Structure 1
Amino acid sequence: MDLHFSGRVAIVTGASKGIGLAVTRTLLGEGASVVAVSRKTSPELAELGGDLLHVPVDLMDPEAPGQAVARAVEEFGGLDILVNNAGGPPPGVALPRFSFMAPADEDWRVMFEFNLFAVVRFVRAAIPPMLARGGGSIVNVSSGSARLPAPMNVDYSAAKAALNNVTKALSEEYAPQGIRVNTVSPGPVRTAWWTEEGGAADIIAGQAGADRDSVLDRLAPEMMNLSIPRLVDPQEVADAIALLASPRSAATTGADLAVDAGFLKQV
């Protein structure tokens, strides 16, 4: 299927690894020019070919989104697609937390700064150049946790629920002007959040008296009651994002697409 990305310019945040790397690779492979935004590059990102520009910024800096959008316009002449993928634990934070009482005020602040306010700033910066090109597509990466409140990671879930609300509001306001805005809501994805040293697999292993491989391969899918008994692959999320970003989804806005191995059970 031709996704009609040739000649289009995309920004992908959190592009150096995980879902963001898979999205960047996919869009490049489909012919888009991509501005890859992350604090630092990675060997996997650096080896990608095509029209790729890495912009090293920290999204905890309120000026970073505007700077990245300006670089996209300067380098490639405009902007058509924005994938707000960066999210999850803010820099220096380890998740999961297991209780409402665990995060303090500052923890809540940085969680919303990273998972909501950075997205708001990126969208604010992206809309003018998109309108100048006659429209565009914004895909915000949310989480199934936004629709399944629980004591674990309550601050993260609340930030993603707010992101879903903002996405709906944006879709209402800007659809008549040609900008579609949607969310993709992954379940547990086999990314560095889970697999890196000190990450979620190690934290859960310490709580459960298990080893990290058992958590990744068996305990986490069981604990999260996944219908497909494994963690999601980043490419599976990237494929859904690419379809929503594409003109092939021209009638889709305000939607939330779950790619979660059956994590959400609600109708």
Structure 2
Amino acid sequence: MSDYQAFTVHIDDRIAHVQINRPDKLNAMNAPFWREIIDIFGLIDERDDIRAVVLSGAGRHFSSGIDLALLSSVASELGADSGRNARRLRRRIKELQASFTAVAECRKPVLAAVQGYCLGGAIDLIAACDMRYAAADAQFAIREIDMGMTADVGTLQRLPRIIGDGMLRELAYTGRTVDAREAERIGLVNRVYDDAPQLLEGVLALARQIAEKSPIAVEGSKRMIDYMRDHRVDDGLEYVAIWNAAMLQSADLKQAMLAHMNKHKPVFDD
């Protein structure tokens, strides 16, 4: 994949490892970050040879959130007319939201590996991922409240379905820091690893396990789970019936059944 200013991307064994690569700036999300993440996840979505994604941060920290220089540049664009300022701000906010929507809507499962700081906008980012994992030193905080603003890039919309309404309200209203063990207890992360190397090793192993499965079945599972966040049970049952009316005709089902009967590991086409 192309060279990026804010990321490195490595593809190996059907896994895309997307790493925020600004360790000297605590992986703060600068202007190139927001543009590049849309391009990266768009390409991942298109490539059938990629079956899972690991998202991590280079250095000691996952990300300290939105780069303050970016916020300053947005402020400098504002003029005297409040109506035009509102239009300009809304457009910019929608652009930022689209960056994390690209992560959330990727057909491939996205696994976040978090060490050190995961603050502000970084919470929005991991909320858009399918699963989250942490090193023991990870620290999570919704910091927008301390900046006198409402989080606006996905935290308040996606986290209620992950950690529940009451806990989200506590964290959003107070801005307090959650350590790795509490994050695991409240369901923000699936598992805690002793340190960053073990974290990355463990998450890559999970991604490889997913990549071995039928990509048709994995994508279908992701679509059904996403659909059920906003629909009734009967709607979800109808949707999966329509989906599987097509997808059960895939060769993957026959391959899996033959492998089970013959007691060998199935190998699925991209």
TM over 0.5: no
Tell me the TM-score normalized by structure 1.
0.32
TM, length-normalised to structure 2: 0.31
Is the helix fraction higher in 1 or 2? Answer: 2
> Higher relative contact order by CA 8 Å / sep ≥ 6: 1 or 2?
1
Q: Which has the larger radius of gyration?
A: 2
